[in-house]
Amino acid sequence: MSTSSRRWRGPKQGIARGVAVFGSPGFEDPDRLKELLSHRNEVPRWATEHELELSDQPEGLSTLDSVLDNWNAEPEIGPKLANEVGLYLGNVIVENIEGAHWSVWPNGHPVIRLSSGHELDVTALVSQHLQGKEKSLSDLYLRALND
C-alpha cells in the first residue's frame, strides 16, 4: 500500500469537513443528534437579521435560495454559509421526510440517512450548490423526498 493511499481514507474516515460531532457513547442517537444539530444552526438568526421568515418547512428553502448569493458575499456569513445552510437543509429533511434522521460518520461528520439507507452529505451538497455545481436547495430536498 502506498503512503498516499494510507493517508487518504475517504470522506467517512478522513478529517471531517466543516462540521463534526463527537460525544460519549450513545451520542449517535438520532433524537439527540437532531436536538444538537438543530440548536447550533445560525441560519434562523441570519434570516431574522435580514427580515426573512424561515421555518423547518420545505417552502423556506426557496426563500433561503433567493438570498444565498448575497449572504455568500457578506464577510460575517460567507465563510460559514455551506456548513450552516447544510445543517438547515438537513433539519428540514429530518423534520419533513419520514424515516430521515441524522447520522454520524466515523470521523464525526454529520449526514442525513434516508429510510432507503442512502446517506446525504448535506454540507457538501450545499457547498457544491454555492459553487454552481448542484441544483437549488428545493431540488436537493426533492431528491431526498424521492429517494
What tens digit of pLDDT does each residue of 72-117 get?
Answer: 999 999 999 999 999 999 999 999 999 999 998 888 888 999 999 9
Residue 8 lies in a domain: no
**Packing angle between helix 137-145 and helix 81-96, nearest 10 degrees?**
40
Q: For position 56, which CATH number holds?
A: 1.20.120
94 touches 102 (CB < 8 A)? yes
The pLDDT tens digits of the residues spanning 3-34 come to: 443 444 445 555 555 565 655 555 567 777 77
Domains identified in the chain, total number = 1
Residue 2 lies in a domain: no
The pLDDT value recorded for residue 67 is 95
Residue 100 lies in a domain: yes
Pairing verdict, β 110-113 and 101-104: antiparallel
85 touches 122 (CB < 8 A)? no
List residues bridging with 51 in a β-sheet: none
Q: Which of 14-18, 26-30, 118-122, 135-139 has the lowest mean pLDDT?
A: 14-18
Quote the CA–CA distance of 59 and 113 in Å, as a whole number. Answer: 21
Residue 3 lies in a domain: no
Q: What is the pTM of this model?
A: 0.81
Q: Is the pLDDT of residue 125 over 70?
A: yes
The DSSP H or E segment spanning 113 is strand 110-113
